[in-house]
Structure 1
Amino acid sequence: MVFYARNGTPIDWNGDFTTLGEVRIVTLNGWAYGPAFDRARPQLRLSVANSVESGLKMVAHQHVQLFASNRRNTEPVLGRIGLAGQITMLPRVIEVQDGYFAFPRRVSSDALRKEFDAEFQRLVDSGELKRLGQRHEVNVP
């Protein structure tokens, strides 16, 4: 998770949430930003958007100064709505979050789990998973 800001916004995000007390920040409805962010929430000036596009437009139109999001979901939208080069990611991360796959425990899902495991192993064995991780800048175990 990272912050995005308009180019030239004078915010020096150093990882200390107490420095953001007067900064207007938009988050996404239902997204998790990590335990440190959650502890800081009462001291932050937060707004909520329902989509990455809405969050970016709030920054572009100076309704907020920072947008808390992730690169994977945000970078493609920046280009699609014509804001690439106007809004940039701040270099310090908010939180690194691990992703997980989960499947139902029902017997009827056994075939799906086995098929997924086999395909995932094929991606690992062929090196494709590593290449995908590099291309999308995602750490792959």
Structure 2
Amino acid sequence: MPGHRMYRLFLFVVTLFIATPARAEKVKVVGTHFNKIFETDAAGAFHGVAVDLLKKVAAKKNLQIEYAIYPWNRAQYLISTGRADILIGPYRTPEREKQMDFASTPFYTDHMVFYTTKDKPFAWNESLDLLKTKRILTIKGWVYGIKFDEIKDKLTIVEANDIETAFRMLALGRADLLLANERNAEDALEQKENKDHFIKTKKPFSFMQGYFAFSLKYKNDSVKKAIQESLSQLSYEGIIKKINKDYKLSFEPRVSIVPNY
């Protein structure tokens, strides 16, 4: 009977619709090599705190994440032009807030510490006058935060092109201190034969928070909102802290050090 055939056809279409999963939304995620945050192994597989977190977000929100590693400036350019959707790991600054849309929840914490050589021990005690007597190495292009920016014009700054060069300059006595984030510095030291030649201060100079940041040209507000909500939930549940701990990192989203100069 025609009516019966139409009913069966209707049931078939409904069943097909229910059985077909919704197509996953593609999200292009870029960054540069950040030790323990975003990197690849010998086989080329992506891993790190950011990757582990986004796996959980993707599973919750039916997203297909496409990763790519570029030099840092190139990755930022892809975000600014809308050729990529999310940038992994930038620190939040007023300048960058004009160029990208930061997630409300950070996902890792960097400790900014001073390094020196063993024969010239240094104890950081929040004294600006003490820093004024030192030649301080910084890395060209690195962001050091408001606390450092407020005092850098009063200091003797020596710039290095990268962290490896900075340690060589420190060993040669071209500066007294190196200010660097502990995560990247310790990774660089692991590659050096004379790594035991250097020591770091026990007390951090400051803390910096790392974020995911969206391209301002990314227009899928529902996906952006879903990712933001997932990150907030993962932070609330302690999952972000646990993933950081798995990589031997400490996540301190609310910590800050206020200058007392």
Deviation, structure 1 residue 130: 2.7
Deviation, structure 1 residue 58: 1.0
Unaligned runs of 5+ in 1: none
Greater mean deviation of Cα atoms: 100-109 or 119-128:
119-128
Equivalences for residues 36-115 of structure 1 within 5 A: 36-108=147-219, 113=224
Please tell me whether the aligned partners of residues 103 and 109 of structure 1 are also in contact (alpha carbons under 8 angstroms). Answer: no
Aligned mates of 1:74, 1:3 — CA distance in 2:
10
Aligned mates of 1:98, 1:3 — CA distance in 2:
18
Q: 1:83 to 1:112 in 2, by over 3 A?
A: farther
- Matched length: 141
Match of residue 138 from structure 1:
251
Structure with greater helix share of residues = 1
Equivalences for residues 108-123 of structure 1 within 5 A: 108=219, 113=224, 116=227
Q: 1:38 to 1:114 in 2, by over 3 A?
A: closer
Aligned mates of 1:41, 1:106 — CA distance in 2:
34
Greater mean deviation of Cα atoms: 20-29 or 30-39:
30-39
% same residue: 28
Aligned mates of 1:44, 1:63 — CA distance in 2:
15
Q: Please, what TM-score do these two structures have when normalized by structure 2?
A: 0.46
Q: Does residue 33 of structure 1 match 2:144?
A: yes
What SS does structure 1 have at the residue aligned with 2:211? coil
Please tell me whether the aligned partners of residues 49 and 55 of structure 1 are also in contact (alpha carbons under 8 angstroms). Answer: yes
Q: 1:85 to 1:112 in 2, by over 3 A?
A: farther
Deviation, structure 1 residue 59: 0.9
Please tell me whether the aligned partners of residues 18 and 40 of structure 1 are also in contact (alpha carbons under 8 angstroms). Answer: no
Q: 1:6 to 1:107 in 2, by over 3 A?
A: closer
Q: Comparing both chains, which one has the higher relative contact order based on Cα–Cα distances under 8 Å and sequence gaps of 6 or more?
A: 1
Q: Please, what TM-score do these two structures have when normalized by structure 1?
A: 0.79
Give the number of the structure whose alpha-carbon radius of gyration is greater.
2
Which residue of 12, 19, 27 corresponds with 2:130?
Answer: 19
Q: 1:113 to 1:90 in 2, by over 3 A?
A: same
What SS does structure 2 have at the residue aligned with 1:59? helix
What SS does structure 1 have at the residue aligned with 2:195? coil
When the two chains are superposed, the root-mean-square deviation of aligned CA atoms in Å is 2.7
